[in-house]
């Protein structure tokens, strides 16, 4: 049901590089799971409100007041490649 091209397309959307072997197994496994999941596709749910949140909550507000937040050093402390107070990354354009 899900073919190789679809797997590669979705992998690209998800920013995941899959090995040749993973592409093969993923196609089979996803198809199997989706086959099960597709049972709900056949249900007549016309007019049923979708549930995105289970607790009845109105907008939750707080006063818009400044308060202390994470320091610059702490925010950068776990970065793989911090430089000059920023997160350094490879160029978005291949050389």
Q: Please give the helix or strand (H or E) that residue 83 lies within, else none.
A: strand 82-83
Interface positions with another protein (CB under 8 A): 2, 6-7, 10-11, 13-19, 22, 26, 29-30, 32-34, 36-41, 43, 45, 48-55, 57, 60, 62, 70, 74-75, 77-81, 87, 89-95
80 or 85: whose CB is closer to another protein? 80
The minimum distance between CB 84 and another protein, in angstroms, equals 15
Q: Please give the helix or strand (H or E) that residue 82 lies within, else none.
A: strand 82-83
The minimum distance between CB 13 and another protein, in angstroms, equals 5
Annotate 68-87 with b (16+ C-beta within 10 A) or e (fewer).
eeeeeeeeeeeeeeeeeeee
Report the chain's C-alpha Rg in angstroms: 23
The minimum distance between CB 69 and another protein, in angstroms, equals 10
């Amino acid at each position: 049901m899900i073919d190789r091209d679809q797997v590669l397309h979705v992998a690209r959307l998800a920013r995941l590089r899959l090995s040749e072997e993973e592409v093969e197994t993923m196609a089979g496994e996803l198809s199997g799971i989706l086959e099960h999941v597709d049972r709900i596709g056949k249900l007549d749910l016309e007019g049923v409100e979708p549930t995105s949140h289970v607790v009845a909550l109105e907008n939750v507000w707080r006063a818009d007041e400044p308060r202390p937040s994470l320091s610059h050093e702490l925010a950068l402390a776990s970065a793989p490649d911090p430089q000059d107070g920023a997160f350094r990354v490879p160029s978005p354009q291949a050389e």
